[in-house]
Structure 1
Amino acid sequence: MRDFDYLMPETVGEVSGLLARLGDDCRMIAGGTALLLALRQRMVTPTHLVSLARVRGLRGITYDPRDGLRIGALTTHAAVARSPLVRQRYPVLADMASRLANPQVRNQGTLGGNLCYADPTTDPPTCLAALEAMLVLGSARGYRYLPVTDFLVDYYASALEPDEVLTEIRIPAPRFDFGYHARFHRTAAEHRPLINLALLARRDGDVVGEARLVVGATTVVPTRVAAAEAVLAGRRVTAALAREAADIVAEAIDPVSDIRGGSAFRRDMVRVVARRTIERLVEQDSEGRIVA
């Protein structure tokens, strides 16, 4: 790791000014779980680190019935997982955060940092895409709002401008009564999923009224599969329907191929994960009642 200057601005405007002035010679640091590894391996060698630790208004979780959930970008994954507001109103998000990576990352890493790093093999982007999250991006020029699906554009690449800071994640008020975030790892020792899939649904008994289905980790960016959602809508969930929809999901995606898994293997596993997740829509308790 090479020497660098550590800067601690206190406002979004100050951060933006430093980013604009220093350019490629600086990096923002939030939780640092990814950046510190890159520094140690000399994958990046900035002369300045711009810390967000003292910037006001970047932490906290609030909820309003009209505007929905608001999560400060510096909120840790662990804080999201244990938040009573999130657990009550967005249990799929709390559950995803509680199983993310490992305890060290959950307690140190931030939701905003995760999104800005744009690692395609992580969990929050897929879950947030299904929840239709909107991101608030600030700079000295003002603020702009961008859907998370437009923010993530490629491998480790986002739509964040050089002088911008991700300040907040906003999620609309919930309208689904079922939510599950599935993850598949090739081995129990892995912390980065080979595949993840988020399914949200509004149900009337065992009939699906509306669904959101997003695949990630095995694609360059989270991919919503509208064709599978349309097949599920208005139909009673059966094993046959789950297989039909899962086949559509598997064929709709463009899986990557790398040393962790070839595209054919990933497509097959997406089919399995999708089928099992859809079947969860009609899981029953000991008395035969459908449960989420």
Structure 2
Amino acid sequence: MRDFVFLEPGTVAEASAMLADLGENCRIFAGGTALMLGMRQRMLAPSHLVSLGRLDGLRGIAFDAREGLRIGALALHAEVARSPLVQAHYPMLASMAARVANPQVRNQGTLGGNLCYADPATDPPGCLMALGAQVVVSGRGGERVIDIEDFLVDYYVTALAPDEIVTQIRVPAPGAGADGRYARFLRTAAEHRPLASVALSVRREGAFCVEARLAVGASTPVPCRLRRAEALLAGQAVTAQLAEQAASIVAEDINAVSDTRGSEAYRREMVRVVARRTIAALFGVASE
């Protein structure tokens, strides 16, 4: 690892100015779990690190029945997982956060940092997409609120401008009959990065699906909504046959990647299986 200058701004505006002035020679330091790994492996060699550690306004988790959930960008994955507010109103999100990577990462890595890294094989992006989350960013031009579908652009690419910092993640208030489930496929118990993930958020009346938001991650270049499958589920009493139909549509519609971890065909099949089981489990119908 090469030498670098460690900067500690006291405000978001000051941090944004540093990013603008230093350009590509600097990186934001939040939890540092991904950044430090990249620097140790000489994949990154910034001359300056801009630490957000003194920006206490980027911490905390709050919930309002009308406004929904507000998660500070510096909230740790472990804090999201054990938050009574998240557990009570967004159990799918709490369950996902409790499974991110490993205990070391969960207790050091931040939710905002995870989203900025934009690794398609991490858990939070797809789960937040199914929940309709928005990302709040701040830069010299002021504040922007970006739908997470627009924030995540491509492999390790986001919509952030060079001087912008993620300050908050917003999740809409759950409606009547809100329910959801996040599931993923790991080839071995020792793995921390899923090969396929499915997040399903619904409004339901028993086995009847009023509305659905379904997102797939890990097997695609960027997590994505599966709107054709959502439309099939909405307004229907969910049966095992319908779950199978929707899962097949999900597998057909994704832009599956092919790499050393699995071929395109293998990933499509894993997504299909995880999607079918997730839909069936959420609505209490047999999946086999």
TM bin, normalised by shorter chain, reads: over 0.9
Post-superposition Cα deviations, 1:87-134, rounded to whole Å, max 9, x if no partner, equal: 000110000001111000100000000000000100100001011111
Letter of the structure 1 residue corresponding to residue 37 of structure 2: L
Q: Find the counterpart in structure 1 of residue 225 from structure 2.
A: 224
Q: Find the counterpart in structure 2 of residue 194 from structure 1.
A: 195
Q: Find the counterpart in structure 1 of residue 234 from structure 2.
A: 233
Letter of the structure 2 residue corresponding to residue 242 of structure 1: A
SS in 1 for 2:203: strand
State TM-score, norm by structure 2.
Answer: 0.97
Q: Find the counterpart in structure 1 of residue 33 from structure 2.
A: 33
Q: Find the counterpart in structure 2 of residue 23 from structure 1.
A: 23
Q: Find the counterpart in structure 2 of residue 287 from structure 1.
A: none
CA distance in 1 between partners of 2:106 and 2:212 (Å): 29
Asked whether 1:279 is paired with 2:280, we answer: yes
Shift of 1:56: 3.4
Shift of 1:275: 0.6
Asked whether 1:211 is paired with 2:176, we answer: no
CA distance in 1 between partners of 2:32 and 2:204 (Å): 40
Does the 8 Å contact 2:30/2:110 carry over to 1? yes
CA distance in 2 between partners of 1:55 and 1:209 (Å): 41
What are the equivalent positions in structure 2 for 1:82-101 lying under 5 Å apart? Answer: 82-101=82-101
Shift of 1:64: 1.1
Does the 8 Å contact 2:210/2:234 carry over to 1? yes
CA distance in 1 between partners of 2:164 and 2:13 (Å): 9
Letter of the structure 1 residue corresponding to residue 36 of structure 2: L
Shift of 1:177: 2.5
Does the 8 Å contact 1:206/1:281 carry over to 2? no
Structure 1 outlier segments of 4+, above 6 Å: none
Greater mean alpha carbon deviation, residues 108-117 or residues 140-149: 140-149
Does the 8 Å contact 1:256/1:263 carry over to 2? yes
Q: Find the counterpart in structure 2 of residue 167 from structure 1.
A: 167
State TM-score, norm by structure 1.
Answer: 0.95
SS in 2 for 1:132: coil
Shift of 1:258: 0.4
Q: Find the counterpart in structure 1 of residue 102 from structure 2.
A: 102
Asked whether 1:257 is paired with 2:269, we answer: no
Shift of 1:145: 0.8
What stretches of structure 1 of length at least 5 have no aligned partner? 285-292
What stretches of structure 2 of length at least 5 have no aligned partner? none
CA distance in 2 between partners of 1:186 and 1:10 (Å): 44
Q: Find the counterpart in structure 2 of residue 158 from structure 1.
A: 158
Asked whether 1:125 is paired with 2:140, we answer: no
CA RMSD of aligned residues (A): 1.0
Does the 8 Å contact 1:60/1:75 carry over to 2? yes
Shift of 1:283: 2.3
Does the 8 Å contact 2:19/2:162 carry over to 1? yes
Q: Find the counterpart in structure 2 of residue 55 from structure 1.
A: 55
Q: Percent identity?
A: 63
Does the 8 Å contact 1:12/1:140 carry over to 2? no
SS in 2 for 1:169: strand
Does the 8 Å contact 1:11/1:56 carry over to 2? no
Does the 8 Å contact 2:201/2:214 carry over to 1? yes
SS in 2 for 1:108: coil
Post-superposition Cα deviations, 1:210-254, rounded to whole Å, max 9, x if no partner, equal: 111111111111111111111111222211111111111110101
Does the 8 Å contact 1:28/1:52 carry over to 2? yes
Post-superposition Cα deviations, 1:29-87, rounded to whole Å, max 9, x if no partner, equal: 10000000001011011111110000231000011111111000000000000001000
Shift of 1:155: 0.4
CA distance in 2 between partners of 1:119 and 1:281 (Å): 27
